[in-house]
Amino acid sequence: MRRIPNGMFAWLLITPAMIILLGFSVLPMITTIWTSLQEPGIGASIGPANYERMVGDGVFLQSLRNNLVFSLVTVPISLAIAMLMAVLVDREIRARGFLRMAFFTPAMLPVVAAAAIWLAFYQPNFGLINAIAQGLGLPGQNWLGNPTTVLPALMVVMVWKEAGFFMLFYLAGLQTISPELNEASKLEGTGRWTHFRRITFPLLLPTTLFTSIVGVANSFKQIDFIFVMTQGGPNNASNLLLYNIYLQAFPNRNPEFAAAMTAVLVLILVVLAVIQIRMFDKRIHYR
């Protein structure tokens, strides 16, 4: 039987993956950039008009500002809670299996179902949040109808849903740490906080790098629960970037402008990922 040369065999192995990558990632990105450069109007030429429009578009700037604040708040809090939950359920405690399931349950819920649950919680007349507030003697709020409280209210939903998902990665990371390190710490009388700060946390940094990149990407891809809970309101106070792209592409029938915003969104995600990798890479100790 004739042997296939190694080089050709390698190309045969990667060809299916390259076709999928080109068809579902590279080609759509090229098409998006080409569409974004088409200026509106009959017989219009190619140019940067859609990008120039973004600079002066108040709704775009507000959705971008909302999304940056949304990411800066939700990602670190989600990762911190996920790490704490993973450390807790990694120990030998009672009902450990139940706790793991309880922490992970929000991540398993469909986004629309989670949004419906929190929509009921935030109801100003009979919602659970206002009932607890009034029980504590605090005034009730229209959480989703007030421009000041709507974005923090959505952040709570995001953290609630994402923390359990990231907990799985931290739990996997914890179980790769050698038990000998724990035994050595116990023999030397090291406290739990010192052990976590000097051993556990540094060894979890590769997991933190991965989860932070995924978390930032997820925070810029939220559209479902905004559609269900606020539809970007009131007065665009909860309008995030991807929801704004959806509004421009479909209800407003302006695909060129939506394509320009999509290109900017991808650029933002790439830049943030590079910053995260550079920030974490110097501190990571790969084993």
Please report whether residue 17 resides in a domain. Answer: no
CA-only gyration radius of the chain, Å: 24
Domain count, the chain: 1
Across all residues in the chain, what is the average pLDDT? 90
Predicted TM-score (pTM) of this structure: 0.88
Placement of tokens 């038990």 in the chain: 179
Question: From CA 20, how far away is CA 7, in angstroms rounded?
Answer: 21
Please report whether residue 99 resides in a domain. Answer: yes
pLDDT for 7 equals 87
Question: From CA 216, how far away is CA 74, in angstroms rounded?
Answer: 9
Please report whether residue 36 resides in a domain. Answer: no
Please report whether residue 221 resides in a domain. Answer: yes
Please report whether residue 194 resides in a domain. Answer: yes
Q: What is the pLDDT of residues 176-234, one digit of tens each?
A: 888 888 888 888 888 888 989 888 999 999 999 999 999 999 999 888 889 999 999 89
Q: Residue 230: give the domain boundaries.
A: 49-282
Please report whether residue 5 resides in a domain. Answer: no
Name the pLDDT band for 281 (thresholds 50, 70, 90).
Answer: confident
282 vs 255, higher pLDDT: 255
Q: What is the mean pLDDT of residues 126-140?
A: 89
State how far the alpha carbon of 169 is from the alpha carbons of 106, 200, 227, 237, in Å: 15, 14, 29, 32
Q: Which two tokens stand for residue 3?
A: 């042997």
Please report whether residue 66 resides in a domain. Answer: yes
Question: From CA 162, how far away is CA 134, in angstroms rounded?
Answer: 28
Tell me, what CATH number does 214's domain have? 1.10.3720.10
Question: From CA 267, how far away is CA 264, in angstroms rounded?
Answer: 5
Please report whether residue 92 resides in a domain. Answer: yes
176 Cβ contact partners less than 8 Å away, ≥ 6 residues apart: none
